[in-house]
Structure 1
Amino acid sequence: MGFEQIIWRKNEKGAFGGVNRSVENSSLFQNSSTIRMFPQSDGVFHDTKVEAYMPKQTSLCVLMLYYTENGLFSQARTTWEQLLYSSFIPSVEFISRLFDAYARHGKFDEVINILRYVDMRNFSILPNVYTLAIYCFGREGQLELMEDMAKEMASRGVYISSRTANAFVLYYSNFGSLKDMENAYGRLKKSRFLIEREVIRAMASAYIKERQFYELGEFLRDVDLGRKNVGNLLWNLMLLSYAANFKMKSLQREFIHMVEFGFRPDITTFNIRALAFSRMALFWDLHLSIEHMEHEKVIPDLVTFGCIVDAYLDRKLGMNLNFALNKMNLDDSPMLLTDPIVYEALGKGDFQMSSEAFFEFKTQRKWTYGALIKKYLKKHYRRNQIFWNY
């Protein structure tokens, strides 16, 4: 692939390959003090940001953004031609807004046309425009066009940043096959760039969607479970890969390894274990896990309570529920603190789903865990009753 041909190199100043970093420091990612807000006109040009052009070019830029964002492409093309005749020098921010607008309407040929114009005029922002095109195509799932941009960058000796390299893996995780995703990850490794947190999550989600939990575990080990800059994410995903297949011995072993490596379990860590214990009706392990949470001063959330309620009711042990909950504060306001990626692998319990539906009721101003459990028990015990109409 063309992406493999791109030269990956970090210079002494920390900039990769000499690419103008303004594309990643523009208001795509953060606000720039050098960009000013244009006056609003009847709400049409709200939040339109372009650099200070000549008055005529300013008006044309604002008009073109309006036309493209509203799908008025013939007018946009006419305005673009007027800009070209005025010796127009576009800014990175302006091109970014145009790319986003055209991409939302599926007008990828227009994105390429703008890039060709920048290339023809030999503007210094060309490397940044290539990068913007990669983000633009990737966000819309246009992986072939994204690769084409990489090939062009390679042919021109344009280097790529760590963030853009991670973006390739992210977009293949979201829109490509597992094989394509793994190939993109392999190229990232060869570049010696560090995989970012968001990309780790995206790859993990792709593996979970395909129920490839063994491959997920191998990927996490390859990333390095000892990495501290992503918190507990890697370990939690490793535990999740075992919990999803109910490999309880491996789950417990990896939990011990996590603690030995100096990581402190969080609410997601405990709830991954609690969900597995609940589904397997391992009541003793479930209670020990709750006690461990209390010892570590980790506050239980709605998922934790749901593990206990579902485990007892599914085994028709509702009479013992008070004993199971006596060490937990039923007067607390419900919180949902668990990483949502857990639900992708293990789903949501019945108590949690019912409670989330109760939150939408306007009749109750303030819910507590006790009120939710009381409401749920009433619903649970009535669901098998037969009501006769006379």
Structure 2
Amino acid sequence: MENALREMVSKGFTINSATGNAFIKYYSIFGSLTDMELTYGRLKRSRHLIGKDGIRAMSRAYIKEKKFYRLGEFLRDVGLGRKNVGNLLWNLLLLSYAANFKMKSLQREFLKMLDAGFHPDITTFNIRSLAFSRMSLFWDLHVSLEHMRHENVVPDLVTFGCIVDAYLDRRMGRNLEFALHKMNFDDSPSTFTDILVFEALGKGDFHLSSEAFLEFKRVRNWTYGKLVAIYVKKRFRRDQIFWNY
């Protein structure tokens, strides 16, 4: 690939943004992080901007190697104020903190995101909710849900999973109905969260179980309410077996 690039340049062809971003993408998959970063530096020196696909490719490589600090540094270097990639840069920065459960930094950067004029989307909220859920920060989790309603962001399967897993893991199932009563129980289950979130944080137990249930084609008209009801029964039986044992 490098030899082809040199031959291309020797024949008078210029390196455009598409070529530079393609190099970044392939180095992020087949090269080392150092090779990838050198390629990104070369693109910068050519005064071409890294594109959305290039940002995602480099971020995935950092996440795969669990290099979350380097991910954050890369995102800041790209420039968090870029509007042409939506919330991607901010969401990935929040993810870099959530993956290490750096809750103060997560909240600080979230407030900076709002101050910069960006509006949180479902991925933004679910990155925070996953971290709150796994840290059993129930107050923060519910404040985040209220903020979602204020922003008219509709919860998805991941959001439900954050609530269900947090309560059942702490054996607080009696409070689950109260926690979920304002949510879109009768909607058809969907997942709109960026898949990079799952690569960094994985999927919760409710999320994984629900995906398995949704594969049963004999059952139609699934709703969040039906999935929660089935999962709660499943967890109750499993926990009973565990405690009896």
How high is the TM-score relative to the length of structure 1?
0.61
Larger radius of gyration: 1
Following TM superposition, the consecutive aligned residue runs of length 4 or more in structure 1 with deviations greater than 2 angstroms are: 154-158
Q: Which residue matches 1:237?
A: 92
Once residues 12 and 193 of structure 2 are traced to their aligned partners in structure 1, the CA distance between those partners, rounded to angstroms, is 45
- Displacement, 1:256? 0.3
Unaligned runs of 5+ in 2: none
Q: Which residue matches 1:197?
A: 52
Once residues 172 and 307 of structure 1 are traced to their aligned partners in structure 2, the CA distance between those partners, rounded to angstroms, is 35
Once residues 362 and 154 of structure 1 are traced to their aligned partners in structure 2, the CA distance between those partners, rounded to angstroms, is 55
Once residues 18 and 220 of structure 2 are traced to their aligned partners in structure 1, the CA distance between those partners, rounded to angstroms, is 45
Unaligned runs of 5+ in 1: 1-145
The residue type paired with residue 85 of structure 2 is V
Q: Which residue matches 2:114?
A: 259
Q: Which moved more, 1:217-226 or 1:374-383?
A: 374-383
Q: Which has the higher contact order (CA 8 A, sep 6+)?
A: 2
Once residues 240 and 136 of structure 2 are traced to their aligned partners in structure 1, the CA distance between those partners, rounded to angstroms, is 26
Once residues 262 and 329 of structure 1 are traced to their aligned partners in structure 2, the CA distance between those partners, rounded to angstroms, is 27
Once residues 298 and 365 of structure 1 are traced to their aligned partners in structure 2, the CA distance between those partners, rounded to angstroms, is 25
- Displacement, 1:155? 2.5
Structure whose residues are more often helix by fraction: 2
Matched, 1:278 2:148: no
- Displacement, 1:363? 2.9
Q: Which residue matches 2:207?
A: 352
Once residues 158 and 333 of structure 1 are traced to their aligned partners in structure 2, the CA distance between those partners, rounded to angstroms, is 52
Matched, 1:217 2:35: no
The residue type paired with residue 332 of structure 1 is D
Q: Find the partner of 2:177 among 311, 322, 339.
A: 322
Q: Which residue matches 1:184?
A: 39
Once residues 362 and 237 of structure 1 are traced to their aligned partners in structure 2, the CA distance between those partners, rounded to angstroms, is 35
Q: Which residue matches 2:13?
A: 158
Q: Which residue matches 1:120?
A: none
Amino-acid identity (%): 71
Q: Say whether the 8 Å CA contact 2:87–2:120 is kept in structure 1.
A: yes
How high is the TM-score relative to the length of structure 2?
0.96
Once residues 357 and 201 of structure 1 are traced to their aligned partners in structure 2, the CA distance between those partners, rounded to angstroms, is 28
- Name the SS of the counterpart of 1:383 in structure 2: helix
Taking the TM superposition and a 5 Å limit, the aligned residue runs for 1:287-366 are 287-366=142-221
Once residues 69 and 211 of structure 2 are traced to their aligned partners in structure 1, the CA distance between those partners, rounded to angstroms, is 32
- Name the SS of the counterpart of 2:81 in structure 1: coil
Once residues 30 and 206 of structure 2 are traced to their aligned partners in structure 1, the CA distance between those partners, rounded to angstroms, is 33
